[in-house]
Amino acid sequence: MSEQALSNENIEQIRQEFDFFDKDGNGQIDLVEFIELLTVLAPKTKASAVEEAFRDLDENGDGYIDFEEFLVWWQTCWFTF
């Protein structure tokens, strides 16, 4: 899949989605917040798949999804041009 450059407006929209699910406002999405996110976006997702997806998204292995990790995922899986 070829990546298209996102406009500043697109990035801001994705930032708003990220901030909505970052319930504690620490700039990172933890596993609990990610479970909530997928409960909204893909409610039929199995718990084991959620945990596996979280580990895959957490590229640096720190136990959180930061905005850059989220941006790549959102652009690949959820964002339509």
Give residue 13's pLDDT.
93
Domains of the chain, start order: 8-77 (1.10.238.10)
Give residue 4's pLDDT.
61
Report H helices in the chain: 8-21, 31-41, 47-57, 67-77
Give residue 75's pLDDT.
84
Threshold 0.85, pTM exceeds: no
Give the type of residue at 25: G
Give residue 12's pLDDT.
95
Give the type of residue at 61: G
- Six token digits for residue 36: 């909530």
Positions in the chain whose pLDDT score sits under 50: 1-2, 80-81
Give residue 17's pLDDT.
93
Give residue 1's pLDDT.
37
- Six token digits for residue 16: 């708003």
